[in-house]
Chains A and B, each alone.
Chain A
């Protein structure tokens, strides 16, 4: 049981390049989230998904796209990276509904440190 795994852990991009961050969870969670965290700040929600094939915008969605083709994976794409997207990106997942023996707390990955130069 690996929990939430983010790939890659570090990346340096040039302005205008594109890339995809992968989040994978093995807990059969319905809910998945992508956040960014800038130095000295809290986490800001970029996009989220409540199930396979569904996504929604969070607080700071501009410049990002997401896809949830499989329940266990949530992809975050940067089509044309900008220096303002330099940040640490966190993925999380949780159950959508609580049932006996399980709760709806979120589990987080260890982050992807992205630098855009």
Chain B
């Protein structure tokens, strides 16, 4: 799996959009971008994933650059409950044993009142 790089932390004001960046410059053509988050010490929670088109669900939007070397997770109206560590992961979802789900250090998002 390709590696990702994320800044260690960022903050945003409650009610504003939170834009979390991720670089994956060595991503291969069949690797998807996945985002998970971990609130306090709970188990990680899946947010969204995509291949090359922008994706949106009830939690967030995922914007992937045209060259696929970077992406941005957007939380449109951040709340205090969105304070968490966010992990960006690239993997081939159907690669069987070669598709291990491995986590980096993630980015800590702090939402301030």
- The interface on chain B, measured as residues whose beta carbon lies within 8 A of the other chain's beta carbons, has a size of 23
Would A43 and B46 count as touching, CB distance under 8 A? no
- Complex CA gap A4/B42 in Å reads 13
Residue numbers of A with Cβ under 8 A of B are 4, 33, 35, 41-45, 48, 50, 54, 56, 58-59, 88, 90, 92, 94, 96-98, 103-111
Would B93 and A98 count as touching, CB distance under 8 A? yes
Given that A105-B49, A107-B46, A108-B43 are known contacts, is A96 also in contact with B96, CB under 8 Å in the complex? Answer: yes
**Sample (26) of A-B pairs whose CB atoms are under 8 Å apart:** A33-B100, A41-B105, A42-B85, A42-B105, A43-B44, A43-B103, A45-B102, A45-B103, A48-B101, A54-B97, A92-B43, A96-B94, A97-B94, A98-B93, A98-B94, A103-B49, A105-B34, A105-B46, A105-B49, A106-B46, A108-B43, A108-B44, A109-B43, A110-B42, A111-B42, A111-B43
Measured between beta carbons, the chain A residues less than 8 angstroms from B102 are: 45, 58-59
Q: How far is the CB of A86 from chain B (nearest CB, A)?
A: 14
Q: How far is the CB of B78 from chain A (nearest CB, A)?
A: 22
- Complex CA gap A90/B36 in Å reads 14
Closest 5 interchain pairs by CB?
Answer: A108-B43, A104-B93, A105-B46, A43-B103, A42-B103
- Complex CA gap A4/B43 in Å reads 10
Closest to A59 in B: B102
The digit string for B65-103, where 1 denotes a CB below 8 A from any CB of A, is 000000000000000000001010000011011011111
Would A58 and B44 count as touching, CB distance under 8 A? no
Measured between beta carbons, the chain B residues less than 8 angstroms from A44 are: 103
- Complex CA gap A110/B44 in Å reads 9
- Complex CA gap A105/B49 in Å reads 8
- Complex CA gap A96/B99 in Å reads 9
- Complex CA gap A92/B44 in Å reads 9
Given that A96-B96, A98-B93 are known contacts, is A108 also in contact with B103, CB under 8 Å in the complex? Answer: no
- Complex CA gap A105/B97 in Å reads 15
- Complex CA gap A35/B105 in Å reads 14
Given that A59-B102, A105-B46 are known contacts, is A111 also in contact with B41, CB under 8 Å in the complex? Answer: yes
